[in-house]
Chains A and B, each alone.
Chain A
Amino acid sequence: QSVLTQPPSASGTPGQRVTISCSGSSSNIGSNTVNWYQQLPGTAPKLLIYSNNQRPSGVPDRFSGSKSGTSASLAISGLQSEDEADYYCAAWDDSLKGVFGGGTKLTVL
């Protein structure tokens, strides 16, 4: 059981907007920043969003992040087939140290 809770799966059709949630507590999301990673099949994870809502250079602006209280969300607009991947949230926990969500498998229908 992961410290950060994500839905195991999400889906959408091309062009749609989908959101993935990440729920934590006051010791992690509530007091530290959240990052999101995208893992395409058979590859290493890639930083998608950092510091709650910042995109690294090269990440399309279709991807956005937000945080409120002890929860965070990743939104993907204009869904594309190449967005089919696993998505993980991560944050520092003041007691448990580095923690990840269990991951959400996104399917593009």
Chain B
Amino acid sequence: QVQLVQSGAEVKKPGASVKVSCKASGYTFTSYGISWVRQAPGQGLEWMGWISAYNGNTNYAQKLQGRVTMTTDTSTSTAYMELRSLRSDDTAVYYCARQGSCSGGSCFKFDYWGQGTLVTVSS
């Protein structure tokens, strides 16, 4: 069965960086992409960006361009999301989600989700 297992909760100070991992199993990793979605406490969902596990192509949300980097390690079927220059409003649960091999249009569909990783930014 398809599973996405994320790394544990993090507490970071403002200005620091965080790197969250998402280990995939139960499917051919390189046949799909991974999107990252975050949810601030009590708030809605926000799409952060997508990475192709096939060739590493990325497509980031404009709001996070320059602060976010998404990568994959095909040898371990793991996706990573690094967010830099953290601010208090980056405090959120971060989800990885399986997406198709293209980033937009009808590919913008998440059929499996990780369990979420709470990132707290506080001084």
Q: Which residues of A contact B (CB under 8 A)?
A: 2, 32-33, 35, 37, 44-47, 50-51, 56, 88, 90-92, 94, 96-103
Contact = CB atoms under 8 A, between A and B. Distances in A.
19 contacts: A32-B106, A33-B109, A35-B108, A37-B110, A44-B116, A45-B37, A45-B95, A45-B97, A51-B106, A88-B44, A88-B45, A90-B45, A92-B106, A97-B47, A97-B103, A98-B61, A99-B47, A100-B44, A100-B46
B72 interface: no
A90 B37 CA distance: 12
B46 A47 contact: no
Contacts of A101: 44
Nearest to B115: A44
Contacts, number: 68
A39 to B, nearest CB: 8
Give the interface centre of A46, A88, A92 by most chain B CB atoms within 10 Å.
Answer: A92
Given A50-B111, A99-B47, 17 more contacts: A32-B105, A33-B105, A33-B106, A35-B110, A44-B95, A44-B113, A45-B37, A47-B109, A51-B109, A90-B45, A90-B47, A92-B108, A94-B104, A97-B61, A97-B62, A97-B104, A100-B44
B41 to A, nearest CB: 12
B108 A32 contact: yes
A47 B99 CA distance: 11
Interface residues of B, number: 25
Interface in B27-81: 35, 37, 44-47, 50, 59, 61-62
A3 to B, nearest CB: 10
A56 B45 CA distance: 20
B114 interface: yes
**What does DSSP make chain B's interface, helix, strand, loop or mixed?**
mixed
B35 A98 contact: yes
Contacts of B50: 98
Nearest to B106: A33
A35 B105 CA distance: 11
B97 to A, nearest CB: 8
